[in-house]
Amino acid sequence: MIIESIELQNYRNIEKLKLPLGEKNNILYGDNAQGKTNLLEAIFFGSTGKSFRFCKDKELIHFGAEEAHLKMILKKKGISHRIDIHLKKNKSKGVAIDGFPVKKSSELFGLGNIIIFSPEDLSLIKNGPKERRRFIDLELCQLDKIYLYHLSMYNKVLQQRNKLLKELYFRPKLEETLFAWDEELVKHGKMVISLRRDFVENLRKKVENIHGEISGKREELLLSYEENVSEENFSLQLEKNREAEKKQQTTLSGPHRDDLSFQINGQDIRHFGSQGQQRTAALSLKLAEIDLVRERIQDNPILLLDDVFSELDQKRQNFLLEQLGNLQSLITCTGLEELVKHRFPIDHVFYVENGQVQCQ
């Protein structure tokens, strides 16, 4: 699986771009705030319909422009697919795959498999549980349409249920309708919990083995899924929390409160680990993700590395580069010294300055 080319018009600070990409390692270098990450974001957006920067679609449109366009050619199992996305400031985005419009941008999930690794991911362990849930959700939504459906439905029901809990303060009689929302929440929540558990279990051994290699077998990492509630007692927990939920006006139980646990020698490194331990665990998690995706789709995912080398010591840099293998990667950096030092094979080098990209 590779991205053959990408075309952008009025995307962030990139006014116009047509860029063919190499099948292996593509390097984007230049000073900070010139547009390197914008290009990675555009590739991720073209594959998922979402930005990895937690922003609204209209924020992707170039300042002063009314609309933006993205066209990407993705080659999968020997077949090329064209993805077109049209953004307008005051309208929902339009998405087409191979020339056919699709109703929901979520239909992009699974067409390509993109893994993004940025400096923020190195803080994945020490950040809050929301970040770790997002890690699970982004990957599972690309791998499993069933998960995508149940997660989407769960979030919609959760939003409506929380809205109802707020309205109960003014309209107490509406409480009798809460039961219907509970049923839907449990139905979709059970599937989310089950599929997350399987995903984490498949990831666990890979993470632990990779972490052992990086740490020289000096530390043993244990990854586990911390479910807020089990499938069996979800309904019971909702009943138990009913009065507390009415007071707090929010749903207190469910997979929207799940987390991942990371322990080294029995110590929870989310709270008590050193920065080195947390970063090594995060790196192990991302590398295990690559391995798991490759195994599940029987193909190589596409890897986006956004300025992570400046955040890693030489040992971890070496280990990361060794794992890239045959997959296509787009790597951003401020200079080429680090990659040249590692004698890293490079297909294409692009210099980025003020939204302009030059092939070198």
Q: Which CATH class is domain 121-298?
A: mainly alpha
Task: Give the pLDDT score at 352.
Answer: 94
Mean pLDDT of the chain: 92
Task: Give the pLDDT score at 340.
Answer: 65
| CA-CA-CA-CA torsion sign (18, 22, 23, 27) | negative
Question: Which residues, in sequence order, are CB contacts of 227 under 8 Å at separation 6+?
Answer: 193, 196, 197, 255, 258
What's the rounded Cα separation, in Å, for the pair 211 and 220? 7
User: Residue 350 phi/psi, 5° resolution?
Assistant: -120, 135
CA distances from 89 to 61, 76, 357 (A): 7, 32, 25
Query: Does residue 342 carry a pLDDT above 80?
Result: no
Asked if residue 34 belongs to a known ligand binding site, the reply is: yes
State whether residue 356 is helix, strand or coil.
strand
Residue whose structure tokens are 């770790």: 132
Chain segment 153-202, per-residue pLDDT in tens: 999 999 999 999 999 888 888 888 999 999 999 999 999 999 999 999 99
User: Residue 336 phi/psi, 5° resolution?
Assistant: -95, 0
Residue whose structure tokens are 């979800």: 234
Percent of the chain scoring above 90 in pLDDT: 74
What's the rounded Cα separation, in Å, for the pair 52 and 147? 19
Average pLDDT of span 298-322:
88
Query: Does residue 319 carry a pLDDT above 90?
Result: no
Q: Which residue has the higher pLDDT, 147 or 343?
A: 147
Query: Does residue 3 carry a pLDDT above 70?
Result: yes
Question: Which residues, in sequence order, are CB contacts of 133 under 8 Å at separation 6+?
Answer: 256, 258, 259
Q: Range with the lowest mean pLDDT among 143-157, 297-311, 340-354? A: 340-354
Average pLDDT of span 8-33:
94
Task: Give the pLDDT score at 260.
Answer: 96
Task: Give the pLDDT score at 238.
Answer: 96
Question: Which residues, in sequence order, are CB contacts of 303 under 8 Å at separation 6+?
Answer: 115, 117, 290, 324, 327, 328, 329, 330
Asked if residue 32 belongs to a known ligand binding site, the reply is: yes
Q: Does residue 251 come out as left (phi exceeding 0), alpha (psi in the -120 to 50 range) or beta? A: beta
Query: Does residue 307 carry a pLDDT above 70?
Result: yes
Chain segment 200-259, per-residue pLDDT in tens: 999 999 999 999 999 888 889 999 999 999 999 999 999 999 999 999 999 999 999 999
Average pLDDT of span 123-128:
91
Asked if residue 9 belongs to a known ligand binding site, the reply is: no
By CB neighbour count within 10 A (0-12 exposed, 13-18 middle, 19+ buried), where does 130 fall? exposed
pTM of the model: 0.91
Q: Please say whether the beta carbons of 11 and 60 come within 8 A.
A: yes
Average pLDDT of span 92-118:
92
Task: Give the pLDDT score at 338.
Answer: 67
Asked if residue 266 belongs to a known ligand binding site, the reply is: no
CATH 3.40.50.300, applies to 1-113+302-360? yes
Q: Residue ranges per domain, the chain?
A: 1-113+302-360, 121-298
Q: Please say whether the beta carbons of 38 and 14 come within 8 A.
A: yes
Asked if residue 217 belongs to a known ligand binding site, the reply is: no
Asked if residue 31 belongs to a known ligand binding site, the reply is: yes
* Of 68, 69, 18, 45, the residue nearest 350 (C-alpha): 18
By CB neighbour count within 10 A (0-12 exposed, 13-18 middle, 19+ buried), where does 192 fall? buried
Chain segment 37-90, per-residue pLDDT in tens: 999 999 999 999 999 887 889 999 999 899 999 999 999 989 999 999 999 998
> Could you give the residue ranges of the DSSP H alpha helices within the chain?
36-48, 129-143, 145-167, 178-214, 234-240, 242-248, 269-272, 275-297, 314-323, 337-341
